[in-house]
Amino acid sequence: MAENITAGEQAVENVTTNMDLLRFATAGSVDDGKSTLIGRLLLDSKSIFEDQLEAVETTSKGKGYDYTDLALLTDGLRSEREQGITIDVAYRYFATPARKFIIADTPGHVQYTRNMVTGASTADLGLVLVDARQGLTEQSRRHAVILSLLRVPHLVLAVNKMDLVDFSEEVYDKIQAEFTQFATKLNIPDLEVIPISALQGDNVVNRSENMAWYSGPTLMHHLENVHVASDRDLVDTRFPVQYVVRPKSEEHHDYRGYAGQVAGGVLKPGDEVVVLPSGMTSRIAGIDLYDQEIEEAFPPMSVTVRLEDDVDVSRGDTIARVKNAPKPSQDIDAMICWMATTPLRPRQKLAIKHTTRNARALVKDIQYRLDINTLHRDQETKEIGVNEIARVQLRTTTPLLCDAYAQNRTTGSFILIDENTGVTVGAGMINTGN
Amino acid sequence: MTQTHADYRLSQLDQLEAESIHIIREVAAEFERPVLMFSGGKDSIVMLRLAEKAFYPAKIPFPILQVDTGLDFPEVMETRDRWVDRLGVQLVVASIDDAIAKGVVTEDGKTSRNRLQIGTLLNAIEENGFTAAFGGGRRDEEKARAKERVYSHRDEFGQWDPKNQRPELWSLYNGRLHEGEHMRIFPISNWTELDVWSYIAREGIEIPQIYFSHQRRVFERGGMLMTETPLNPCREGEVAEERTVRFRTCGDITLTGCVESTASTVEEIIEETAVSRVTERGATRGDDKFSEAAMEDRKKEGYF
């Protein structure tokens, strides 16, 4: 038995070394009980504080509700509380001894696709809620399509309100079969279907006594145990240079380091590397993490890389392995989600940001609009409206160092910016790379 | 830190650190005149530490800006000075007293100094031409904050418009601005109070002494324990007495309450934080208690 360590030391140990992180995005229609579920996860993991709960209880009473409306915990803005709706993506946090969780809470009904895309872009897992009484709706299919398009590697379908269908196994089986069938058309590597009652807490954190027929994990158990470490690309080395560190001080007169966040693969001192787009080759002389030299760097570490030769490297360049490098290209074929109310049209010019590189892009062609309800490819439409998804061809002013989004979510993604308003108007996922 | 990563996994704290450093570097690379807003509290000290790490061995390539309320804890100011000396970073102080003297903001006896910070801060941002201002705000602090982006766009009045925020996708931040606008940047958005304390423990970061348990003359007001000082004397019916307390946040001495605690080390604070059933703001921030949307309303006006 180890020496007596205090609870404080244990807590420090847990949070500083052991605990890992799962980011998940929630989706669901307005009345599927999403806010209640999030409230339940927070409440049952003891992540709600007394002062927050008291405030919600007071407000619920004031509004004449006969139960505490957990949705009030998550509706943070005055206008949301007034209207009882959720306007925009919010991020929430809770932790169990095993993991810290970041929830991207995406609202169900307004500006629906763009919010889902925003929340899903950083998610390891997508959580889609359906109402057991309704079964799969068009909306649930849309959620799944978007999560698949965004390459969210894990998907959970939570069949909610099981209490309202007498905890029926038949109802669950039917929904599960239907969804599994639908999911075969999509790219969803890992799917879990869990029957729950968010309101009563069945199978959320605690196993339900009402559904003895269900032998799978509770939602919390699944969230705590789903394996996400292998979802990153540890093979194809990609290091987009963010910032050149040049101290210009007596002590570090000749220091020249390239700071950035590793986007793929593993970097080690001694590795032969190529700097793109110049194509100059060198070797990694050292990798610094603050004042320490480290032996390897991998995603998502933010480090500073030094090279053996004095090659010209600046922000926007990418360091890769000589025999495994992205091919610089000015012609981009991508799926985009359009987020602006003014439509996207051919010949339009936009600003583009890809990794640490800024350029301008011209819309050369709109190949098709994807109907996310039917997955039908509509090739007639040449105008893409807000919340629509399309396949487009872009020509950029400077070469981008792209991978396919399917291979790397960092080097395969970009945003489009309206140069007049400065607003982010599109999210892009590159189809081909390398 | 140079532990081996057999399975190429980073702990959540390392992931948060990597993300925050990425954001800080991105801002330094893309904005003309960034500044780091510094209150002297634990969150802004963690921010300084992250900035220090982001550019090491070079110095932090932007100044730090402190709004001097004139009501700050002396211990906080001492810690600030030691950090500034150690990092060799430029310190810009925007004083509320100066702002009042210059007529930038008006002290009418009713408005708290917390509110006067807004005008003072916005004036300092404008006068110095800062285009990006880092803040140590976290989304777990408050429900309006949970809705705010890492890059929070502010118009030429410094206002935040929660209904018109830019979508934030992947780690691709959009820092485009029009003349007169600026961006508030929150690199530790995804950290919780416990993460901040864990990081302070791991890194051995120096923070103001008021965070640790000490004896202080305090009195109860509005359910909170307030410091007795000439700046904030007892009102009728209030009785000051010596108690063993510490602070969970640093702010204006007249508005920041403390909690009874014997936690005298960071480890003990973590232990206490881990089991606490009240948020730091709920326990100690008078300024958030004015209304349910107090924070949101102040942010819309240009607050942090």
The mean predicted confidence, pLDDT, of chain B is 87
How far B289 CA lies from chain A's nearest CA (Å)? 11
- Domain annotation for chain A: domains and CATH numbers: 18-231 (3.40.50.300), 238-321 (2.40.30.10), 328-430 (2.40.30.10)
**Which residue among A15, A73, A292 sits closest to B1, beta carbon to beta carbon?**
A292
pLDDT band at A9 (very low <50, low <70, confident <90, very high): low
Q: Which residue is closest to A352 within chain B, CA to CA?
A: B174
**Which residue among A15, A266, A289 sits closest to B198, beta carbon to beta carbon?**
A15
Report ipTM (2 d.p.). Answer: 0.92
Sheet arrangement for strand B241-246 = B224-227, B214-221, B241-246, B259-260
Which one is predicted more confidently, A85 or A129? Answer: A129
Do the chains contact at B12 and A21, CB–CB below 8 Å? yes
Do the chains contact at B170 and A242, CB–CB below 8 Å? no
DSSP E strands: which ranges in A97-233? Answer: 99-105, 125-131, 154-160, 190-195
Is residue B137 within 8 Å of residue B148, measured between CB atoms?
Answer: yes
Do the chains contact at A8 and B267, CB–CB below 8 Å? yes
Centre a 10 Å sphere on the Cβ of residue A373 and count the other Cβ atoms it contains.
Answer: 11
Q: Residue B282's pLDDT is what?
A: 58
Q: What pairing do the DSSP bridges indicate for beta strands B132-134 and B64-68?
A: unpaired
| pLDDT tens-digit map of A159-186 | 999 999 999 999 999 999 999 999 888 8
Q: Amino acid letter at A55?
A: A
| Residue A242, token pair as written in the block | 């963010």
Q: What is the 3-state secondary structure (H, E, C) of chain B?
A: CCCCCCCCCCCHHHHHHHHHHHHHHHHHHHCCCEEEECCCCHHHHHHHHHHHHHHCCCCCCCCEEEEECCCCCHHHHHHHHHHHHHHCCCEEEEEHHHHHHCCCCCCCCCCCHHHHHHHHHHHHHHHHCCCEEECCCCHHHCCCHHHCCCEEEECCCCCCCHHHCCCCECCECCCCCCCCCEEEECCCCCCCHHHHHHHHHHHCCCCCHHHCCEEEEEEEECCEEEECECCECCCCCCCCEEEEEECCCCCCCCCECEEECCCCCHHHHHHHHHHCCCCHHHHHEHHHCCCCCHHHHHHHHCCC
Residues A69, A73: Cα–Cα separation, whole Å = 8
- Closest by CA to A197, choosing from A25, A29, A28, A36, is A36
Is residue B177 within 8 Å of residue B129, measured between CB atoms?
Answer: no
Is residue A200 within 8 Å of residue A160, measured between CB atoms?
Answer: no
Contacts of B186 (CB under 8 A, 6+ apart): B134, B135, B136, B137, B138, B139, B148, B149, B150, B152
- Interface size between A and B, measured as CB pairs under 8 A: 240
Do the chains contact at A410 and B170, CB–CB below 8 Å? yes
Q: Which residue is closest to A261 within chain B, CA to CA?
A: B22
Report the pLDDT averaged over residues A52-66: 77
Is residue A410 within 8 Å of residue A263, measured between CB atoms?
Answer: yes
| pLDDT tens-digit map of B120-141 | 999 999 999 999 999 999 988 8
pLDDT at residue B290 greater than cutoff 60 = no
Report the pLDDT averaged over residues B238-251: 90
Do the chains contact at A356 and B268, CB–CB below 8 Å? no
| Residue B173, token pair as written in the block | 């931040």
Contacts B7 to A, Cβ<8 Å:
229
Tell me which residue has tokens 């305090």.
B218
Is residue B36 within 8 Å of residue A38, measured between CB atoms?
Answer: no
| pLDDT tens-digit map of B225-234 | 999 988 888 8
Q: How far is CA B292 from CA A37, A52, A73, B288, in A?
A: 23, 11, 12, 8
Q: Which residue is closest to B202 within chain A, CA to CA?
A: A16
**Which residue among B13, B25, B176 sits closest to A15, beta carbon to beta carbon?**
B13
Q: Is A5 on the interface with B (CB under 8 A)?
A: no
Going A257 to A258 to A260 to A265, the CA torsion angle's sign is negative
Q: Residue B138's pLDDT is what?
A: 92
H or E element, residue A147:
helix A138-149
| A88-92, B99-103, B279-283 — most confident range | B99-103
pLDDT band at B147 (very low <50, low <70, confident <90, very high): confident
Which of A9, A10, A12, A47 to probe by mutation at the B interface, max B CB count within 10 Å?
A: A12
Length of chain B equals 304
Q: Residue A320's pLDDT is what?
A: 98
pLDDT band at B90 (very low <50, low <70, confident <90, very high): very high
Asked if omega into A107 is within 30° of 0 (cis), the reply is no
Q: Residue B279's pLDDT is what?
A: 63
Contacts A21 to B, Cβ<8 Å:
12, 15-16
Q: How far is CA B126 from CA A251, B33, B69, B89, B299, in A?
A: 35, 11, 18, 21, 17
| pLDDT tens-digit map of A358-379 | 999 999 999 999 998 888 999 9
Contacts A414 to B, Cβ<8 Å:
172
- Taking each helix axis as running N to C, give the angle between helix B193-203 and helix B12-30, from 0 to 180 degrees, rounded to the nearest 10: 90
How far B103 CA lies from chain A's nearest CA (Å)? 32
How far A323 CA lies from chain B's nearest CA (Å)? 22
Q: ∠ at Cα A80 (A223, A40), nearest 5°? A: 30
pLDDT at residue B12 greater than cutoff 80 = yes
Which of helix, strand or coil describes residue A333?
strand
Residues A333, A399: Cα–Cα separation, whole Å = 13
Q: Which residue is closest to B174 within chain A, CA to CA?
A: A424
Contacts A413 to B, Cβ<8 Å:
169-170, 172
Contacts A339 to B, Cβ<8 Å:
167
How far A221 CA lies from chain B's nearest CA (Å)? 18
DSSP-derived secondary structure for A389-400: EEEEEEEEEEEE
Contacts A75 to B, Cβ<8 Å:
143
Please report the residues numbered 196 through 255 in chain B whose beta carbons come closer than 8 angstroms to any beta carbon of chain A. 198-199, 201-202
Q: Is A110 on the interface with B (CB under 8 A)?
A: no
pLDDT band at B222 (very low <50, low <70, confident <90, very high): confident
Residues A291, A162: Cα–Cα separation, whole Å = 55
Is residue A7 within 8 Å of residue B271, measured between CB atoms?
Answer: yes
| pLDDT tens-digit map of A394-434 | 999 999 999 999 999 999 999 999 999 999 999 999 998 65
Compute CA A307 distance to the chain's CA centroid, rounded to the nearest angstrom: 32
